[in-house]
Amino acid sequence: MIASIKYNSRNYKIDLSKPLDISIAMRGNEKNVNAWYLRHPTIKPHEEDGFIGKVSEGSSVNFNNIWFNPHSHVTHTECVGHITKVVHSINQKLKQYFFLAEVITVAPEKQGEDFVISKKQLQYALGTKKRKAVVIRTLPNLENKKTAQYSNTNPPYLLEEAILFLKNKQVDHLLIDLPSVDREKDEGVLAGHHAFWNTQGKIRANATITEFIFVSNAIEDGTYFLNLQVAPFENDASPSRPVLYKLIDEE
């Protein structure tokens, strides 16, 4: 199914029958991707007064309780409410869902004890391109990202200068295949988050950060349409399913 989309006064065509899902599904066991020192999520039949919500146990329905934290256990999209005293809900702040996105691949560089993504690397990857969304795939890009246990591993992160570069390029939606844009243990500074949302100035309340994506190696670097959908949770962050669509042509 071919769809024509007019975006910023230009016409694009995408094939809706060929979605490229870059989310990581959540499973209720220890193989689920994990960060921030929490136990794994659980998906279990509800039990009460002799009732077990499982058809194989005699119930008429499967009726599961799910315990998880979106920041720790699943592809999620967060808004500025993640770091502010004022309550902001991703369900209220994200009101548009299609964006022109650039997929880039970056190999984090060694800096002291860390591996980081620098402004220079993003400048090289993006050049003069103007995109509302940027999707960052880091190297090495292995399937084990879908089950990685990140707690106490000091994963790669973006330097503040790199985040400021994206903000100054008016990138409103940043997606990355890491548990955070910031260092795992930074004494709560969260410099990248604050820089992206511009908390020391006019807050970019409609901007979002999506973490824990997985971009298959079969997806080439380049320009795509991004459909960024979140579950309607009134919370600073929500499980999300970002989907890319390759451009067929443009006028």
Under 8 Å CB-to-CB from 22, ≥6 apart: which residues? 75, 135, 175, 213, 214, 215, 216, 219, 242, 243, 244
Task: Please give the CATH topology (third level) of the domain spanning 2-25+74-250.
Answer: Glucose Oxidase; domain 1 (3.50.30)
pLDDT at 183 over 60: yes
Under 8 Å CB-to-CB from 14, ≥6 apart: which residues? 2, 3, 5, 225, 245, 246, 247, 248
pLDDT at residue 29 in the model: 97
Rounded distance between C-alpha atoms, residue 130 and residue 100, angstroms? 9
Q: What is the value of pTM for the model shown?
A: 0.96
From the list 188, 141, 193, 131, the residue with the least C-alpha distance to 162 is 193
What digits encode the pLDDT tens for the residues 126-182? 999 999 999 999 999 999 999 999 999 999 999 999 999 999 999 999 999 999 999
- For the chain, the average pLDDT equals 96
pLDDT at 225 over 90: yes
pLDDT at 251 over 50: no
For residues 72-96, average pLDDT: 97
3-state secondary structure 69-107: CHHHHCCEEECHHHCCCCCCCHHHHCCCCEEEEEEEEEC
pLDDT at residue 249 in the model: 67
pLDDT at residue 154 in the model: 98
pLDDT at residue 30 in the model: 97
DSSP state letters, 129-180: ---SEEEEEESS--GGGGT-B-TTS---EE-HHHHHHHHHTT--EEEESSS-
Question: Residue 179 corresponds to which tokens in the numbers above?
Answer: 């548990």
pLDDT at 52 over 50: yes
HSE-up of 162 (CA within 13 Å, CB side)? 23
Least confident of 5-9, 72-76, 121-125, 207-211: 5-9
pLDDT at residue 10 in the model: 83
What does the domain layout of the chain look like in residue ranges?
2-25+74-250, 26-69
